[in-house]
Amino acid sequence: MAQKQEYLSKNQQIVLNLIEKAKGPLKAYSILYDVQKKGIKAPLQVYRALEKLIKIGKIHKIESKNAFIACNNSECEISKATAFSICNNCEHVKEIKNTKLSKYLSNFQDNSGMKYKKYNLEFFGLCKNCKLKQ
């Protein structure tokens, strides 16, 4: 489980800190708003930091929400294998840690002859809390 050492630049560190202390996924422009006090002024500065953080696996993008969340899972080495559960009611998002699932998907092969190097899975439903309230 060797951790690839990555040195983050100032902007990358600022953005990562914010995302890591957030309760859920953050959107790019909300990140921008929050880091303006730290001197980051333009969307591109945020997007560039996000791009790098995704590349090194520190965060993931929730594609269906255009939002970004800290990686919470040692299984998804460098963002190659991601799975999330998303509550349709409260919008709560959680990264799924499940070895069987990740093995199943990482080894998945269909008849197309394509070898998959990466996947992203998003499950939708009602979380326990919201199920009770209905």
Q: Binding residues for a copy of itself, how many (CB under 8 A)?
A: 31
> Is residue 91 close enough to count as binding DNA by CB under 7 A?
no
Of 45 and 102, nearer to a copy of itself (C-beta) is 102
Given DNA, a copy of itself, none, residue 118, with its beta carbon under 5 to 8 Å by kind, binds a copy of itself
Phi-psi region of 39 (alpha: psi -120 to 50; beta: other; left: phi over 0): left
Q: What is the DSSP letter of 3?
A: P
Half-sphere exposure of 4 (CA within 13 A, CB side): 10
Given DNA, a copy of itself, none, residue 10, with its beta carbon under 5 to 8 Å by kind, binds DNA
For residues 2 and 34, give the distance between their C-alpha atoms in angstroms, rounded to a whole number.
Answer: 33
Q: Which amino acid is at 31?
A: I
Identify which range of 16-24, 33-41, 73-81, 116-124 contacts DNA by CB under 7 A.
33-41
Q: How far is CA 85 from the centre of its chain?
A: 11
- The answer to whether 102 and 83 are in contact (CB under 8 A) is yes
Identify which range of 16-24, 32-40, 50-58, 114-122 contacts a copy of itself by CB under 8 A.
114-122
- The alpha carbon dihedral of 64, 51, 59, 104 has a sign of positive
Letters for 37-76 (x = contact with DNA by CB under 7 A, - = none) are: --xxxxxxx-xxx-xx-------------x----------
Which of 21, 23, 37, 117 touches a copy of itself (CB under 8 A)?
117
